[in-house]
Structure 1
Amino acid sequence: MKPPRIAVIGAGLMGRLTALALQELGAELHLYDRGDLDGQQSAAHVAAGMLAPASESVSCDNLVVRLGLKAIPLWSELLATLPQPVFFQQKGSLVIAHQQDRGSLAQFRQQLSHRRRHFVGLQAIDCDAEAIAQWEPELAGRFTQGLLLPGEGQLCNRSLLQSTQGAIQSSGIRFHGNWHVYSTDNGYVSAHQTEHKPEPRHRRDAFNLIIDCRGTGAAIPSLRAVRGEVIRVTADEVRLNRPVRLMHPRYPLYIVPRENSRYVIGATEIESQDNGNITVRSALELLSAAYAVHPGFAEARIDQMQSHCRPALTDNNPAIRFDNALIEVNGLYRHGFLLAPALLEEIKHSATTMLELGADRALNQRREQSQFAELYHSARH
């Protein structure tokens, strides 16, 4: 009996992880992307890689919190399967506010306290000036109140992309780079080549199962894009041990430390579908806020300024949608890295069930058996 042919569309975070995970099915795997395998066109390349279920819980649905709490311990297992090391840290994160913004911190504390009554996995420790100085010595004397969220972590998005690229290249997965997929109807992948050639090349390939992980590139009517902006700097005069979130009524900020004195500075979200370069206003606000957290950022060298749009559905929740020989995975919003390992387990079960039962019966079974039944939808409605 021939092994099933499975196509994964999109080689961003979920697409490449899905392709690698489905190798255990013994399938003939094909991975398509409009760009190269380095992932530089994906939202994952711009992301900060924060794993922050407590921070996100104050503004997201219960589904995201549950998935996030399940996913964090799975990251260590997933990273251990990759050929190259990926920077991973779980020292918690620190939420702080300037004195004039203590109202924003108080509101965050109140909202988080409410969520913690429903989710025992969410942890928070109130910090006064002395505690802040203990956790982050270089912030001593600058902030008098905050919260330590000890269960949170982060990983380096770019080293993950590099390591998964190496894993795919050394596997039996067939990668089709620079191909734009314009149709996934009736078990066929139809695509045209994106490279500039005198005559465009087209292809149409048949598969037993297609898994669409294209994010904002997918053809889902309710899909929208949410802009994220980051600035990457090298700051030799700054020593932060964990991600720091600055509460602010207008532009909440995060600062994520990486190896070798590198930092990612970003804004939580901007409701805009503009995928253009970062604006002067945003750059000034981000850098000014970072300097206000730690004056050592004044001497930092700017390595890169980037923006990208992330996929979001109407309710800002992720969704797995079934339709004939197609599974659509989308709507990860700003929670891609937080949710990925937990979603990956759901995708593996979905693929196996779809191949055995077909779309309708597989959808019903996943709704009955998954602890995240609200993830599952029919793409026909």
Structure 2
Amino acid sequence: MTKKQVIILGAGLMGRLIALACAKEGFRVSVYDQGGSEVKDSAAYTAAAMLAPLAESVATENNIIEMGLYSLNRWPELIKGLSKPVFFQQNGSLIVWHAQDQSLGKHFYSQLNKTQKIFPAQFQHEKITHEKLNLLENQLDHRFREALYLPHEGQLDNRELLDALLIDAQLYGAQFYWYSPRELSDFPESSHFKIIDCRGLGSKQSITPLRGVRGEVIRVYAPEVKLQRPIRLLHPRYPIYIAPKDNDVYVIGATEIESEDMSEVSVRSALELLSAAYSLHSGFAEGRILEMNAQCRPSLPNNAPIILKTNERIISINGLYRHGFMISPALLDAAMEMILTDQSNLAQQFSIESSLPHASNH
């Protein structure tokens, strides 16, 4: 029997997750991407890959929190099934603030309390004093009088994951075509295979409300710093996160800037990010800057993702905003339900199935 065929546009995070899942289901999988195998032009390559639905709950909708909680449980299963090891950590996360920004800490705490009433079983957080803070992160050297501790949150290494997904998808027979951009109109309507559009901002022609939200990230090698978990430093302009990875590498970034500017990291942002890191731990002063990256995340007007079924052949997955790694397993499982059965209970549960207006694919 001829295998059913799936065409995937875009080899970023969602493209690779779906390519591997479809290949495991016995589909003949072809993946087209406009760049090379490292996908350095994708949001997934630049991301910090924090799995922090509770921390994000202060500024996002309930369905995204629900997807994040679902995905936090799914990630260990997905990673365990890969043939190549991927750094995964679930030591919780910390929210800290300097004395002059105490009002930001109070507001964050009150928002967490509101969310806890909606998700009481899954939602744990704790306001801690500097004594417990220094038990959790003894290198913070009493810099903060209090903090918020979210014990179940996690993170992973985005680039290790992207590599592992690619290797396994190819092992299962998926074919990847690099430097081969494709549009929906490149495939005849008479074809019977499914097309899964995961191009992010590359789908602007077919999903017209898409916009880019800029994120700026600095990777630093800092062997003097020994943080055990991601830390968010509340800041008047925007929260700044510091995520420790393997081998003394730290990802320092800002969560969002409303701009589609794809140019290099600005001097202002670099100063803010590095100053924030230094204010957290003086050991960053002797660190080494490995790279500075700026990238735009694909976002819709409500900053929520969609699974858009254009017709019986075309499914678009987009709008992951800054939550890509946090919610992608939920989107993967919902998309696979739709690919296999043409409908998805999960997509309905998460309120992500959409009939959003889109441009013609002709």
Instruction: Settle same-fold status: TM greater than 0.5.
Output: yes
Residue of structure 2 in register with 1:208 after alignment: 193
- Give the whole-Å Cα distance in 2 for the aligned partners of 1:369 and 1:19: 19
In the alignment, is residue 282 of structure 1 matched against residue 285 of structure 2?
no
- Give the whole-Å Cα distance in 2 for the aligned partners of 1:175 and 1:370: 27
Identity %: 46
Gaps of 5+ in 2: none
Partner SS, residue 257 of structure 2: coil
1:162 shift after superposition: 1.4
- Calculate the TM-score normalised by the size of structure 2: 0.94
Alignment of 1:81-96 (within 5 A): 81-96=81-96
CA contact (8 A) 2:128 2:146 kept: yes
- Give the whole-Å Cα distance in 1 for the aligned partners of 2:7 and 2:299: 23
Alignment of 1:86-125 (within 5 A): 86-120=86-120, 121-125=122-126
- Give the whole-Å Cα distance in 2 for the aligned partners of 1:211 and 1:347: 9
1:295 to 282, 286, 289: 282
1:261 to 240, 245, 248: 248
Residue of structure 1 in register with 2:331 after alignment: 343
Partner SS, residue 37 of structure 1: coil
1:76 shift after superposition: 0.7
- Give the whole-Å Cα distance in 1 for the aligned partners of 2:350 and 2:325: 21
* Count, aligned residues: 354
Q: Summarize the Cα distance change of 1:214–1:290 in structure 2 as closer, same or farther, 3 Å threshold.
A: same
Alignment of 1:190-229 (within 5 A): 206-218=191-203, 219=205, 220-229=207-216
1:25 shift after superposition: 2.9
- Give the whole-Å Cα distance in 1 for the aligned partners of 2:357 and 2:65: 27
Partner SS, residue 117 of structure 1: helix
Partner SS, residue 8 of structure 2: strand
Partner SS, residue 103 of structure 1: helix
Residue of structure 2 in register with 1:327 after alignment: 315
Partner SS, residue 11 of structure 2: coil
In the alignment, is residue 127 of structure 1 matched against residue 114 of structure 2?
no
CA contact (8 A) 2:240 2:254 kept: yes
CA contact (8 A) 2:35 2:178 kept: yes
CA contact (8 A) 1:323 1:380 kept: no
Per-residue deviation, residues 129-151 of structure 1 (Å, max 9, x unmatched): 10111110011311101100011
Residue of structure 1 in register with 2:72 after alignment: 72
- Give the whole-Å Cα distance in 1 for the aligned partners of 2:78 and 2:238: 33
1:264 shift after superposition: 0.5
CA contact (8 A) 1:132 1:140 kept: no
Residue of structure 2 in register with 1:33 after alignment: 33
CA contact (8 A) 2:347 2:353 kept: no
- Calculate the TM-score normalised by the size of structure 1: 0.90
1:186 shift after superposition: 6.7
In the alignment, is residue 377 of structure 1 matched against residue 354 of structure 2?
yes
The code of the aligned residue for 1:343 comes to: L
Residue of structure 2 in register with 1:312 after alignment: 299
Per-residue deviation, residues 189-228 of structure 1 (Å, max 9, x unmatched): xxxxxxxxxxxxxxxx945210000111102111000000
Tell me the C-alpha RMSD between the 2 structures: 1.6
Partner SS, residue 123 of structure 1: coil
Gaps of 5+ in 1: 189-204, 355-361
Q: Summarize the Cα distance change of 1:172–1:149 in structure 2 as closer, same or farther, 3 Å threshold.
A: same
